[in-house]
Amino acid sequence: MNENNFLSIERTIFDEEHEIFRSSVRRFMREHVIPNLDKWNRQGHPDRDVWLEAGKHGLLCVTIPPEYGGAGADRKYSSVLIEEQQRANAAGPGFVMHSEIVAGYIYRFGTEEQKQKWLPKMARGELIGSLAMTEPRGGSDLRAISTKASRMEGDYVINGAKTFITNGYITDLTIVALKTDKNDGSSGLSLIVVEADREGFQKSQPLEKVGQKSQDAAELFFDDVRVPQSNLLGEEGKGLHYLMQELAWERLMIAIRAVAGCEVALQNTVDYTKSRSAFGQNLIEFQNTKFKLAECKTKTQVARVFVDHCIDLAVDGKLDPESSAMAKWWCTELQNRVLDECVQLHGGYGYMLEYPVARAWTDARAQMIYGGTNEIMKEIISRSL
């Protein structure tokens, strides 16, 4: 984030076109997202019209090829979008889940018919996508999934429940991870696309969360939901394999957001401590303030270098699970430590939601949980020892 960035490090992974795109995204956030955040926070979900606006501005499904409605751009453009949404302090809308994860699965594993059916509408913001993995009785252990699909007269009949589903309340279609062979362990896991208007499919109201209130999360219920077998994504029984292929990029995206969050919080805190006085001098002049900010700045810049390296690897198709797990674990924990320091330096105002640092503080905590808990990240890293 070059504009108004107090960090001295020069980033070399973006070219002029990426920065032009950044300016466009920043303007979109300023005009269509930031003015609506208070409303979305109160109601627990973004309005649908912002998705249509994002589609008109070419901000959805940017890495999907033009023949399916996207821009055919590299993942650095996705990184820019993530950074600028974090810069706007906007937990929602769930553009990343929609464009990078759901559309990504359909593009990589779907049939030509599926791609033509869903992707152009997703790129225009007419269909909002979600991914339904987590269940009420299980989190990171995908092998323990109990939602199942049975074959019946050329259809799949789905029964089960999912929870904490990003975009779940406003979703139009969801990719459901479920068992097509309940006796076959992980190899019995499949991915099936379920449209929200299917009979027997129900959504809860937006879940009451500690933070990320502008981003809806909901429970999804499947009671004898019938979908045609043509809604199967990829091959039956290959679901876990497909999920594992994409998890490295998903986790890196969380790290990208976390480092951007550190940068924004630090900038806001530097500005605040320069303007706030105590005992006859600005807060920035106290040694404790300077040392705390110096520590946070250094750690953030170190994280930035590693994350930018991982972005390059992702664009080249070389990002490995261990590196993405390291990035997700380290950067999300760093963000929470940095934000805690920033809240403290704001004093009582740091606890007031009218200040960006307070909202960022409550929003950040979940990042150490979703995408696989940080304990799971350490397990993944340890396997390479």
Q: What's the whole-number mean pLDDT along residues 94-102?
A: 97
Q: Which one of 100, 250, 263, 341 is the catalytic residue? A: 250
Closest to 93 in 3D by CA, of 46, 149, 60: 46
Query: Helix or strand or coil: residue 195?
Result: strand
What average pLDDT does the structure give for the chain? 94
Q: Are 349 and 355 in contact (CB under 8 A)?
A: yes
Residue-wise pLDDT tens digits, 285-329: 999 999 999 999 999 999 999 999 999 999 999 999 999 999 999
Structural domains for the chain: 16-127 (1.10.540.10), 130-236 (2.40.110.10), 241-382 (1.20.140.10)
Residue 182 has pLDDT above 70, yes or no: no
Q: What's the whole-number mean pLDDT along residues 196-213?
A: 97
Rounded to whole angstroms, the Cα distance separating 262 from 300 reads 6
pLDDT of 91: 96
pLDDT of 188: 87
Rounded to whole angstroms, the Cα distance separating 3 from 341 reads 24
Rounded to whole angstroms, the Cα distance separating 374 from 329 reads 5
Q: What's the whole-number mean pLDDT along residues 364-380?
A: 94
Q: Are 91 and 33 in contact (CB under 8 A)?
A: no
* Number of residues that this document lists for the chain: 385
For the entire predicted model, the pTM comes to 0.94
Q: What's the whole-number mean pLDDT along residues 233-248?
A: 93
pLDDT of 3: 46
Q: What's the whole-number mean pLDDT along residues 159-167?
A: 97
Kind and range of the H or E element at 248? helix 239-275
Residue 369 has pLDDT above 60, yes or no: yes
C-beta atoms surrounding 17 within 10 Å: 11
pLDDT of 165: 97
Q: Are 88 and 29 in contact (CB under 8 A)?
A: yes
Based on the residue annotation, tell me whether 250 is a catalytic residue of this protein.
yes
Burial class for 215, CB neighbours closer than 10 Å (0-12, 13-18, 19+): buried
